[in-house]
Structure 1
Amino acid sequence: MRQIVLDTETTGIDPAEGHRIIEIGCVELMERQPTGRHYHVYINPEREVEEEAISIHGITNEFLADKPRFAEIANEFLAFIDGAELVIHNAAFDVGFMDSEFARLKPVRKVVEHCGVLDSLAIARRKHPGQKNNLDALCKRYGVDNSNRELHGALLDAEILADVFLLLTGGQTALSLDASGDGEEGSLAIRRLPADRPALKVVRATAEETSAHDEFLDLVEKAAGASVWRGATS
C-alpha cells in the first residue's frame, strides 16, 4: 500500500472565511516503509496571513510574496498524492483546505476522488481515550524526538507524524525517515529482518522431559480433577 503522510500550514483556521494553504509537506510510505520521496512547497496565498497563524508557524507574508500560487502547483501536487492513502492528523482540517483550493480551479476536484484518507487523530483517540492526542503529546507518549519542532512546519510535522503513525498503528517499534536505514545515534530506526533469514530453531521436549511432565499432570489430576493442560497438549 502506498501512503502519503501529509500536513499543511494555512493563513488561518477556516477556508470558508477565505483562508488559504501556504505550505504543503508530504512523506511517502510504501508498505509501511519510508521510501525517501517527499513533496514540499510553499504557496503564495494571494491574501494576508493572520498574525496569530504566523505566531504558530512563523511563515510571513514577505516570505511568501515570491512563491508560486496554488493553481501553479496543483497538478504536480495531485500527481504526487493520486491513488495513495493520505495519513493526516485531524484530517477534516487539511482536507477541507485542500478541497477549498481545488474548488477554485477548473475542473473542480475533491481529494476523496483521488485518494483514501486516514485520520491519525481519530486512531489516537480510539487507542488513548480521554488523553491528549495532539502531535506533541503523541511524540512524548511514543518517545519520538520532536526537539526541532519549535514552530509548526508542514514537512517537519509530516516527518514527525510518519514516526508517530507507524508506532501508533503497530508493527514497528521505531522509524527513521532515512531510506538507507542508517539513523543517527539516538534516533528512531526501523530495521526489518531479511526475508531469506534462517528459520527459527524449534526446540522440542525430550522423551525424559515429556515423561516428567505427564507425571506432574497425573499428580495435578489426582489432587484437583481433570487437567486443562493435558487436553491442550494431547
Structure 2
Amino acid sequence: MRWIILDTETTGLEPSQGHRVIEIGAVELENRNVTGRHFHVYLNPDRDSDPGALAVHGLTTEFLSDKPRFEDVAQDFVDYIAGGELIIHNASFDTRFLDAELARVGRPPLAQLCTAITDSLMVAREMHPGKRNSLDSLCERYGISNAHRTLHGALLDSQLLAEVWLAMTRGQDGLLIDAPEPARGTGDGLVVGGFDASVLTVLRASETEMAAHGEYLEALDKASGGPCLWRKLDTPAAPAEGTAA
C-alpha cells in the first residue's frame, strides 16, 4: 500500500483565471511507514500571486523568478505519483490546479496517473460530523504539534497531513499500530489474556449515597406499582413449601 500525501500552493483560487501552481510538496508512505522519499519543488508561474494568496504562503514573485517551470519537472512529478494513491486535503482544489498544469504540457489528468485520489477532508467530515476539520483543527484534535506552521507551505502541510492521516486511519484494514502481542489464542479467533482481579480498586458507597439510592428505588416502586427489579434481587426468596427455612 503506497500513499502519496500531497499539497500545493498557488497564485490564486481559480486556474480558469490563469492562476498557477507555485509549490508542490508530497510525502510517501509505504505500508503506513514514512519512507523519506519526498517530492518538493517551487515553480515559476510567470505571474504575480494575488495579495490574498501571497498572505497565505509568502512566496513572492522575486523568490520564484529563478525556479523551474512546471514543464521542467512534469516528468519527475508523474514518475513520483505513479502507482500511488494520492491523499489530499480538500482534493478538488489541488486536482483542478494540477490537471490544468498537466493539460498545458500535454499530459493526462491526475486521476489517470495514479491509482486513486482520496480527499482527507471528506473522510474527516464523515468521522467528525459537525466539527471543524481544517488541517490545523485536525492537528489539535489528534495532538500533533503545528506550532512551527506560521505560513502555509506545501511540504510542511504534507508532513502534517501525513501524521494526521495515520492517526485518522489507525487500526483500519487490520494494520494496528503498536498493537500488543496476544497472551494466547483459543483457536476460534478470540484472544484470551490473564486477568488479575486483585489490581481493581473497589469503591464502596457512603451511607449518604446508599440513602439516596434507597429513596430512588422507593420512587421506582411507586411508579411501577410494585417492587422494582433491584428490590426483588435484594429480597431473599421464600423457602419452598415443605423445605426447611
- Range class of TM-score, shorter chain: 0.7 to 0.9
Partner of 2:109: 110
Distance 2:85 2:101 in 1: 19
Distance 1:198 1:46 in 2: 56
Distance 1:191 1:54 in 2: 39
CA contact (8 A) 2:170 2:177 kept: no
TM-score, normalised via structure 1 length: 0.75
- 1:19-30 paired onto structure 2 within 5 Å: 19-30=19-30
Distance 2:62 2:89 in 1: 28
- 1:90-101 paired onto structure 2 within 5 Å: 90-101=90-101
SS at match of 1:36: coil
Deviations 1:45-79 (A, max 9, x none): 11111121110011100000000000000000110
Distance 1:138 1:154 in 2: 17
Paired letter, 1:98: L
- 1:1-234 paired onto structure 2 within 5 Å: 1-106=1-106, 108-115=107-114, 116-171=116-171, 192=178, 200-201=183-184, 202=192
Which protein shows a greater Rg? 2
Distance 1:204 1:31 in 2: 32
Distance 1:2 1:191 in 2: 17
1:143 and 1:199, CA in 2 relative to 1: closer, same or farther beyond 3 A?
closer
The offset of 1:130, in angstroms, is: 1.2
Q: CA RMSD in A?
A: 2.3
1:12 and 1:199, CA in 2 relative to 1: closer, same or farther beyond 3 A?
same
Distance 2:84 2:33 in 1: 14
Report sequence identity in percent: 51
Paired letter, 1:82: A
The offset of 1:200, in angstroms, is: 2.2
SS at match of 1:117: strand
Deviations 1:86-137 (A, max 9, x none): 000000000110000001012x311100111010000011111111110011
Q: Where in structure 1 are there 5+ consecutive unaligned residues?
A: 173-189, 206-219, 224-234
Q: Where in structure 2 are there 5+ consecutive unaligned residues?
A: 185-191, 196-232, 237-245
The offset of 1:6, in angstroms, is: 0.2
TM-score, normalised via structure 2 length: 0.71
Paired letter, 2:113: H
Distance 1:198 1:90 in 2: 37
SS at match of 1:37: coil
Partner of 1:211: none
Aligned residues: 187
Distance 1:122 1:191 in 2: 23
